[in-house]
C-alpha cells in the first residue's frame, strides 16, 4: 500500500485516541497483544493518510511480560527496565491525584516508527510517592489498575491542555480510558455548567471502541475503590452508581458517556449489542471492522504478484524458507519446506482452543508423526492467568511429543507475528463462535497469500469464500454447551482438513496458488487501515 499523497485533509475533527498500549515495533515494549497492535496500525494509518489524529498512552517502564518457557516446560514471566533513546521530552509535566496524593506525570513524545504523534505519560519520577504506577502494563487488576487508568484518562486530558492541543473528539479504545470522561465533565463544571449539562456536553465529544466479547472480561471496580483512589474526580458515589452500577462497570460507563460506540467486526457488532442490550441510555454500537497497516505486515511483492498475475509461489517459498530458518535459529527445530506448515498465534485463553488440533490423538499421530503436517504455535498468557499458562504448557508438551513437526515459539512479539503471517501456508483460527472480536492476524496472513482455515468468527465471515480464498469449518454453529460446540466443530475441522486442505496442498498446487491470489485480491483493500479510518471519520467522529 503506497502512502496517500493527496492534499492534506481539511475541516476534519481533530481526534485524541486514548489507549493503554501501542504496538509500533518489537523494540518498543508498550503492547501486550491485539488491542495494542490495532492501536499501532491505526496511528500509522493516520500518519500515512494525513488524518488529524494523535495518540495518548503510557510510558511503561517494564512493558508487558517477557514470557519464557522454564526448564519444567512451564511458562514464567520476566520483567526488565527499558530505556528508549528515541523518546522526546516535551518539557511538560501534569499532576493527577491518586489516593489523595499529588502524582506528577512527565509527558514524552514518540513519532519514530512511521506513526502519528503519540504522547506518553510517565510517573517514574523521583519525587513521586506512586512512582510504580506506570511500571507494568496490565500487571494488576485492583488499585494499581485504577491508578494506571487515572494517569491515562485524567492525566491524558491534562496533558492535552498543557500541550495546547485543540481536540474535537476523544476516542476511548476500550474502557481503560474512561476517567478522561470524568475529567472532561470536571472541566465543564469548573466553567459553570451543572453536572447534567457537563455530562451531556461531554457525550457529544466522546466515542468508544469495545473489544472484549465476554461479559466477565469487561473490567469493573467497587465504587468504594474508585472513591478512595480518587478516580471519581469529584463525582459522587450516587452519580457513579447511576452511570454504571456497583460494582462499577467500565464498559457500561463508557457506553453511557459516549455519543456513539463501535464494535470491531460485523459479527462482533451483533454480539456486543446483545451483550449490552440491558444498558439503558447507552450509545448505539455500530460495527466497524478492524483493519491492518499493510506496509508493516504484508510483503509488497505478494500484492504486486497477485495484481499482475506474477509468480506468487516463488515469493511465498522465500517467505516460508525465512520462517523455517527463523524457527531453526530460535528453537533448533528443522522444519521441512515440502510439508504443509500451519501458523497459529493467539493469546492463550480457553475460548481460542489453542490445542484443538490435538484433540483426537489417533488423527494427530497420523498427521504429525507421519510427516503430513507441521505447525508453529506462539502466544502468551496474562501473567496472572494460570489457566492460560496451562494452555501454553500443553502446547509445549505437544512440541515434545512431536519434536520434528510441532514448535512453540516463546515470548510472542511483532517479529514472530510478522514471520508467521508471511511464511506459513495455512493460518489456523478455531475460537468458539461468537467469542472472537476480530482477529487481525488473519487479515495479515490473507494479504500475504497464507490461506485462512477458521471458524466463522471475528472478521472471517466477511471475507470467507470457502474453497476459493480459504476455508471455514463449523458453518457458524453456536451452542451454549461448550462440550457440544467443541464436538461439532472438531468433526467439521477434521473433515475439512483431511478432505479439502491437505489434498489441495499436495495434489492440486495450481488450485492452491489460485486460492492464494484470490485471498490477496479479496482482502488487500477492504481490510487495509485506510477503509477503517474512513469509516471512523464518517460514522464516529463526524456523526
User: Cell digits for 304?
Assistant: 504486486
Q: Which residue has the cell 458517556?
A: 257
- What does the pLDDT average to over 23-45? 96
Reported as a pLDDT band with limits 50, 70 and 90, residue 447 is very high
Q: What DSSP character marks residue 152?
A: I
pLDDT at 141: 79
Is residue 139 scored above 90 in pLDDT? no
Is residue 296 scored above 80 in pLDDT? yes
pLDDT at 144: 94
- What does the pLDDT average to over 233-261? 97
Superfamily of structural domain 297-527: Glycogen Phosphorylase B; (3.40.50.2000)
Q: What is the pLDDT of residues 461-490, one digit of tens each?
A: 999 999 999 999 999 999 999 999 999 999
Q: At a CB cut-off of 8 Å and minimum separation 6, what does 429 contact? A: 344, 346, 436, 439, 441, 442, 452, 453, 454, 455, 457, 458, 460
CB 243 within 8 A of CB 254: no
User: Cell digits for 222?
Assistant: 467497587
pLDDT at 81: 95
Asked if 15-60+88-292+530-541 and 297-527 have one fold, the answer is yes
By C-alpha distance, which of 52, 64, 85 is closest to 20? 64
Is residue 217 scored above 80 in pLDDT? no
Q: Residue ranges of the domains in the chain?
A: 15-60+88-292+530-541, 297-527
Q: What is the pLDDT of residues 316-350, one digit of tens each?
A: 999 999 999 999 999 999 999 999 999 999 999 99
- Please name the helix (run of DSSP H) or strand (run of DSSP E) that holds residue 366, with its range, or none: helix 361-368
Is residue 5 scored above 50 in pLDDT? no
CB atoms within 10 A of CB 394: 15
Mean pLDDT in the chain? 95
User: Cell digits for 123?
Assistant: 510517573
pLDDT at 543: 64
> Which CATH number is correct for 15-60+88-292+530-541, 3.40.50.300, 3.40.50.2000, 3.40.50.720, 3.30.1360.170?
3.40.50.2000
pLDDT at 6: 43
Share of the chain above pLDDT 90, in %: 93
pLDDT at 339: 98
Distance in Å from the first CA to the final CA of the chain: 28
Amino acid at each position: 500500500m503506497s502512502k496517500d499523497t493527496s492534499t492534506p485533509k481539511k475541516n476534519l475533527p481533530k481526534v485524541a485516541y486514548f489507549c493503554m498500549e501501542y504496538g509500533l515495533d518489537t523494540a518498543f515494549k508498550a503492547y501486550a497483544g491485539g488491542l495494542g497492535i490495532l492501536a499501532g496500525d491505526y496511528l500509522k494509518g493516520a500518519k500515512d493518510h494525513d488524518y488529524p489524529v494523535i495518540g495518548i498512552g503510557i510510558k511503561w517502564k517494564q512493558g508487558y511480560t517477557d514470557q519464557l518457557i522454564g526448564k519444567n516446560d512451564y511458562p514464567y514471566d520476566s520483567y526488565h527496565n527499558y530505556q528508549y533513546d528515541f523518546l522526546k521530552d516535551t518539557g511538560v509535566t501534569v499532576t493527577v491525584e491518586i489516593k489523595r496524593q499529588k502524582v506528577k506525570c512527565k509527558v514524552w513524545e514518540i513519532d519514530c516508527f512511521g506513526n502519528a504523534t503519540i504522547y506518553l505519560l510517565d510517573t517514574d519520577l523521583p519525587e513521586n510517592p506512586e512512582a510504580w504506577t506506570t511500571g507494568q502494563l496490565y500487571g494488576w487488576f485492583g488499585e494499581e489498575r485504577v491508578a494506571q487508568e487515572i494517569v491515562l484518562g485524567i492525566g491524558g486530558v491534562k496533558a492535552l491542555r498543557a500541550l495546547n492541543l485543540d481536540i474535537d473528539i476523544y476516542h476511548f479504545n476500550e474502557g481503560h480510558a474512561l476517567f478522561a470522561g470524568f475529567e472532561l465533565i470536571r472541566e465543564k463544571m469548573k466553567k459553570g455548567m451543572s453536572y447534567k449539562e457537563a455530562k451531556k456536553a461531554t457525550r457529544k465529544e466522546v466515542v468508544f471502541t469495545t473489544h472484549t466479547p465476554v461479559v466477565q472480561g469487561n473490567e469493573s471496580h467497587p465504587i468504594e475503590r474508585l472513591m478512595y483512589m480518587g478516580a471519581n474526580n469529584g463525582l459522587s458515589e450516587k452519580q457513579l452508581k447511576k452511570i454504571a452500577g456497583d460494582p462499577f462497570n467500565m464498559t457500561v460507563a463508557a457506553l453511557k458517556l459516549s455519543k456513539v460506540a463501535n464494535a470491531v467486526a460485523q459479527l462482533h457488532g451483533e454480539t456486543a449489542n446483545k451483550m449490552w442490550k440491558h444498558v439503558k441510555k447507552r450509545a448505539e454500537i455500530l460495527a466497524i471492522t478492524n483493519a491492518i497497516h499493510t506496509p508493516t505486515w504484508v510483503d509488497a511483492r505478494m500484492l504486486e504478484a497477485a495484481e499482475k498475475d506474477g509468480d506468487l509461489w516463488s515469493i511465498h517459498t522465500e517467505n516460508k524458507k525465512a520462517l523455517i530458518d527463523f524457527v531453526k535459529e530460535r528453537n533448533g527445530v528443522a522444519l521441512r519446506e515440502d510439508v504443509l506448515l500451519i501458523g497459529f498465534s493467539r493469546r492463550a485463553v480457553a475460548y481460542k482452543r489453542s490445542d484443538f488440533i490435538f484433540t483426537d490423538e489417533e488423527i494427530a499421530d497420523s498427521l504429525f508423526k507421519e510427516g503430513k503436517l507441521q505447525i508453529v504455535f506462539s502466544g502468551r498468557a496474562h501473567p496472572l492467568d494460570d489457566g492460560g499458562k496451562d494452555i501454553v504448557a500443553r502446547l509445549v508438551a505437544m512440541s515434545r511429543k512431536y519434536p520434528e513437526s510441532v514448535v512453540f515459539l516463546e515470548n510472542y512479539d511483532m517479529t514472530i507475528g510478522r514471520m508467521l503471517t508471511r511464511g506459513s501456508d495455512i493460518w489456523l483460527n478455531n475460537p468458539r463462535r461468537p467469542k472472537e472480536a476480530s482477529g487481525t492476524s488473519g487479515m495479515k496472513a490473507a494479504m500475504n497469500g497464507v490461506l485462512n482455515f477458521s471458524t466463522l468468527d471475528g472478521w472471517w465471515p466477511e471475507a470467507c469464500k470457502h474453497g476459493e480464498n480459504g476455508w471455514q469449518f463449523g458453518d457458524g454453529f453456536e451452542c451454549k454447551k461448550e462440550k457440544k460446540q467443541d464436538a461439532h466443530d472438531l468433526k467439521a475441522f477434521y473433515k475439512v482438513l483431511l478432505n479439502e486442505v491437505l489434498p489441495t496442498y499436495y495434489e492440486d498446487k495450481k488450485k492452491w496458488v489460485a486460492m492464494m491470489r484470490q485471498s490477496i485480491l479479496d482482502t488487500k483493500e477492504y481490510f487495509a487501515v485506510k477503509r477503517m479510518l474512513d469509516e471512523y471519520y464518517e460514522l464516529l467522529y463526524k456523526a
